[in-house]
Amino acid sequence: MATLTHFNERHCHKWALLLRERRVKLNQALTAISNEDFDKATCLFHEVFRGASSGKHSDPGMAGSLLYHMAMVTKMEAETRLLLEELCVDMPDVTEQLKRFYGDFASDVKELTKLIIPLNIEPQVAVVKAGLSTNEKIGMFNTLNEKNKTVEQMLTDKNPRLARNLEALFKNWSQNIVEMRLRQEYETIKGFLTTIALAKTVGLPQLTDAMKCVQEKFGDETVNIALEVTLSVGMRRENLQTIMLSDHFINYEMDMSRLEGHMQFLNCPIYASHDYVSKKLGTKEDVASLFCTHFCYAHAKAMLNTVLPFTFKLWQPQRMATDGKCQFHLKIAHSPTASRPEKFVPLILSWNITRKCNLKCPHCYINADKQEPIDELTTAEAKNLIDQICEVSRPLLVLSGGEPLLRQDIYELVQYGTSKGLKMGLGSNGSLIDYHVAKKLKEAGIETVSISLDSHIPEQHDEFRGVKGSWKKAVKAIKTLRENGVLVQVNTTLTQQNYNQIDDIMSLAEKIGVENFHLFFLVPTGRGVKIADISPAKYEEMIKKTFVKTTLHKLNVRPSCAPQFMRIAKDMGLNMSRWIRGCIAGLYYCRVYPNGDITPCPYLPIKLGNIRKQPFKEIWFSSEVFKMLRDFNTLKGKCGECEYR
């Protein structure tokens, strides 16, 4: 139904479109309940409150929308506060103009909510209330989520009061979303009017310099607050980008062979708000474009830096405030020292920097042991390899072993890689990580650490790892790393012994602050050839269970070394964009062994060269095996026919 609004409806009022669509689904759910079709009602309930993916214009659900508008309130408040602090000036008086333009928006809201919910709060009252602290936002979410759980249980029980409670729940979420949208717009208009006033009082050059000085702080501060709330209410880090773009229509394209693409914004509520005010006041373009030029870019960069585990280059070839269009171009793992643009460059590079290890894991593919290492790359050779890698790309470089912390120069190598612009990771058994080690790793620049955990039962983990007490040390390492602000991933290798423990292991990981859970399916290489494998039928069953658990746990759950998982994910109707296509060995990934040998993968131990004899760039681009792995037309038989190749 078309509605005449003051502000551009497409740009400024997607929130209302989403609520209208959810209102339709809610009505369908109520009809399903009256027809006693509780399965359909449950599906619709999840779409309304948890969200639904529909290509480029996905709905983040009530929870996602509320989080987005909360984050936007924080973002727009920060604009004004940081500018005034940097310029050391008082807030200019914009009261009358703010009342005028916010009044126009409030009028839109009253009109747009008529067919959705009765508005039980006056727009002027919504914005004079004290702003919510981070803890208050988390508390609001938790209260609403508890009400969600109550209604979910009523769905399961087919409770006769279900319809009434579902209607009340919808109104409760909607009222909070509308209130946050009002506060968001109030702060947006206030911030823009403040910018216009400051341009007159301090001058455009000084105002521009101030924006340049605070733009990075603006991006980091606003994204970190949004992330804290996101994680605290049980959403995943990877969902932050989707949530923060929930009020936009976006054309998104990515060329995975070149690891680059763009996001084209077809609408923007901030732009539309600024545009509406600018036209009414006759504001000059050089002032009107300031926010988009400095703060939007800084916010986008900080957001991507939070959700992407890789380095990237971001630029903005088109800006909404100058020509009505906005586009961000993104290149992942970009290295400024790369000689020429190439297809297929390393996105992740794993480097076994030592074979020495203090545990005795029976599945170890590299046959690590306690013997003193022979023929390992020296510190100088290791740094030279990092330099060579940067001539191709800037991947996530994961240092593993053996146990990498047994290498004396580990902190020096982490620090050197960080100084070259690489994101540095570590794969460890956790036995050597205390507070001092965790602090040193963080100071050296480590971004993420993977800790192996193969059972929620200490004795079983210890037996599998071959050393008593290793479970206790691994769990302590995870907690200590989190205390030092290091992102932690738990790696679990699926075996016959822990097959029925995966849910318990995930619950343990979640409880101790882990965000990412990586389930490895055993590939019999190294000492792993002696372990009895799990049947294909059991693997398939476990993959299905793993996918189901992605909605039950806060963890970001991913399987590895499971070629059938793409097919299963599609069969289960899951959003395929969450999963990297097939095997990435040779495409975006390779392995470096302690002596400098290069192989596509530890489970494809074909030596393709050695960096002591050939430059890394030459091996990566010239190896015939790598070339074959990148040419899907060389696949024959069933592999050649597979739609997931």
| Domain ranges (residues) in the chain | 13-245, 348-641
Q: In what order do the strands lie in the sheet with 326-332?
A: 250-255, 260-265, 326-332, 312-318
Residue 272 has pLDDT above 80, yes or no: yes
Q: Give me the torsion for CA of 374, 378, 384, 387, rounded to 10°.
A: 90
Q: Could you tell me the strand order of the sheet in which 396-400 lies?
A: 556-560, 516-521, 487-494, 446-452, 423-428, 396-400, 348-352, 589-592, 597-599, 609-610
Largest CA-CA distance found in the chain, in angstroms, rounded: 78
Average pLDDT over residues 341-369: 81
User: Using 50, 70 and 90 to split pLDDT, how confident is the model at 534?
Assistant: low
DSSP string, 561-597: S-TTHHHHHHHTT--GGGS--S--BTTTEEEE-TTSE
Q: Beta-strand (E) ranges in 258-362?
A: 260-265, 312-318, 326-332, 348-352
- Burial status of residue 29 (CB atoms within 10 A of its CB: 0-12, 13-18, 19 or more): buried
When pLDDT is cut at 50, 70 and 90, the band that residue 370 belongs to is: confident
Question: What number of residues does the chain have?
Answer: 645
Residue from 223, 232, 224, 178 nearest 66 by CA: 178
Q: Is the dihedral of CA 445, 593, 518, 58 positive or negative?
A: positive
Could you count the other beta carbons within 10 Å of the beta carbon of residue 348?
18
Of 132-136, 399-403, 630-634, highest mean pLDDT: 399-403
Residue 610 φ/ψ, nearest 5 degrees: -135, 135
Please, is 190 exposed, middle or buried when counting C-beta atoms within 10 Å of its C-beta (0-12, 13-18, 19+)?
buried
Prior bond of 402 cis (ω within 30°): yes
Mean pLDDT is highest, among 122-136, 299-313, 395-409, for: 395-409
Per-residue pLDDT, 81:
94
Using alpha carbons, list the distances in angstroms from residue 2 to 10, 35, 248. 11, 32, 19
The string of pLDDT tens digits covering residues 107-130 is 999 999 998 988 877 877 777 776
Distance CA 181, CA 188 (A): 10
Q: What percent of the chain has pLDDT over 70?
A: 87
> What confidence score (pLDDT) does residue 641 get?
58
- Of 213-227, 528-542, 584-598, 625-639, the least confident: 528-542
Q: How confident is the model at residue 547 (pLDDT cuts 50, 70, 90)?
A: low
How far separated are the first and last CA of the chain, in Å rounded?
Answer: 44
Q: pLDDT value at position 271?
A: 87
More confident of the two residues 225 and 241: 225
> In a 3-state reduction of DSSP, which class is residue 97?
helix
pLDDT higher for 382 or 293?
382
Please check the confidence at residue 447 and state whether its pLDDT lies above 60.
yes
User: How far is Cα 103 from Cα 97, in angstroms, rounded to an integer?
Assistant: 10
In the numeric block, which tokens belong to residue 332? 């992942």
Per-range mean pLDDT, top range of 32-36, 305-309, 560-564: 32-36
Check pLDDT > 90 for residue 525: no
Residue of 486 and 257 predicted with greater confidence: 486
Confidence of residue 406 (pLDDT cuts 50, 70, 90): very high
What number of other Cβ atoms are within 10 A of residue 85's Cβ?
A: 12
Residue 568 above 60 pLDDT? Answer: no
Query: SS3 of 216, please?
Result: helix
In eight-state DSSP terms, residue 359 is S
Q: For residues 438-442, give the mean pLDDT.
A: 97
Q: What is the pLDDT of residue 234?
A: 78
User: What three-state secondary structure class fits 519?
Assistant: strand
- Least confident segment among 106-120, 148-162, 346-360, 626-640: 626-640
348-641 is classed in which CATH architecture? Alpha-Beta Barrel (3.20)
Check pLDDT > 50 for residue 206.
yes
Distance of CA 499 to the CA centre of its chain: 28
Is the pLDDT at 517 greater than 80? The verdict is: yes
Measure the CA–CA gap between 188 and 180, rounded to whole angstroms: 12
Among the listed ranges 51-55, 232-236, 273-277, 488-492, which one has the minimum average pLDDT value?
Answer: 51-55
pLDDT per residue as tens digits for the range 135-174: 898 999 999 999 999 999 999 999 999 999 999 999 999 9
pLDDT value at 644 more than 70: no
